[in-house]
Amino acid sequence: MIKRVHMIAGVVLAAVITMSGCGATKPGNAKSSPQSASTAAKGTPSADSGSPSGEDGDTQHSRPTERSSPTPSPSLAAPRPLKDGAAVLTHCADADDPYTTVVVRNPNEREGTFGVKINYKDAHGFTMSETYQQVLVAAKGKARIRSAAASSGPLDKIDRCEVNPRATAVQ
């Protein structure tokens, strides 16, 4: 009894797949009359149809042989990580101009945000303070950072500025 129920369920599923056009049946071989469970499973002619179930008596299978898997769209794929940029100190803060200026270059084919670290040192090489700035840079472009040095201590005590030449890609 259980085998018969499974066989009937399989035939019904095969009929639904075939009628929906999802089966492997060629358009000229589709049947218009239903077959009994025993006839469809054996691939013999039905009493109603009078024709074989496949070409040259071969049994046709209505299940696809390969399952398709969704292809991720390009917009959902993770972008390549950005390469780090380059940072060049162009001006160290002093009494005349209390801003340190750094130019950041982006070597990437897309825009990105880059972080730059600036150290303020006195005449003895002691680091008085350290700042970190981020800047958005266009693809293959340059951007300028102007960092106020007033929070670093007395401007007249700043002897030199040091900038890490690697501008770290943030995003």
Query: What percent of the chain is predicted at pLDDT more than 70?
Result: 54
Asked if pLDDT for residue 148 goes beyond 80, the answer is: yes
- Tell me the average pLDDT across 60-89: 74
Asked if pLDDT for residue 136 goes beyond 50, the answer is: yes
CB 51 within 8 A of CB 61: no
Higher pLDDT, 104 or 171: 104
Together in a domain, 89 and 157 = yes
Rounding to the nearest 10 degrees, give the CA dihedral for residues 63, 21, 33, 29.
-80
| 78-110 confidence digits (pLDDT tens) | 788 999 999 999 999 988 899 999 999 999 999
Q: Domain for residue 19, yes or no?
A: yes
Together in a domain, 89 and 163 = yes
Together in a domain, 43 and 101 = no
Q: Domain for residue 33, yes or no?
A: yes
CB 117 within 8 A of CB 165: no
Together in a domain, 114 and 41 = no
- Say how far apart CA 67 and CA 90 lie, in whole Å: 60
Q: Domain for residue 65, yes or no?
A: no
- What residues make up the domain containing 6? 2-57
Higher pLDDT, 117 or 23: 117
pLDDT value of residue 40: 45
Together in a domain, 37 and 108 = no
pLDDT value of residue 57: 53
Question: Among 19-23, 148-152, 154-158, 165-169, which range has the highest average pLDDT?
Answer: 165-169
Together in a domain, 106 and 33 = no
pLDDT value of residue 156: 84
Together in a domain, 39 and 104 = no
Q: Domain for residue 74, yes or no?
A: no
Q: How many domains are there within the chain?
A: 2
| 24-58 confidence digits (pLDDT tens) | 544 554 444 444 444 444 444 444 444 444 455 55
Together in a domain, 89 and 142 = yes
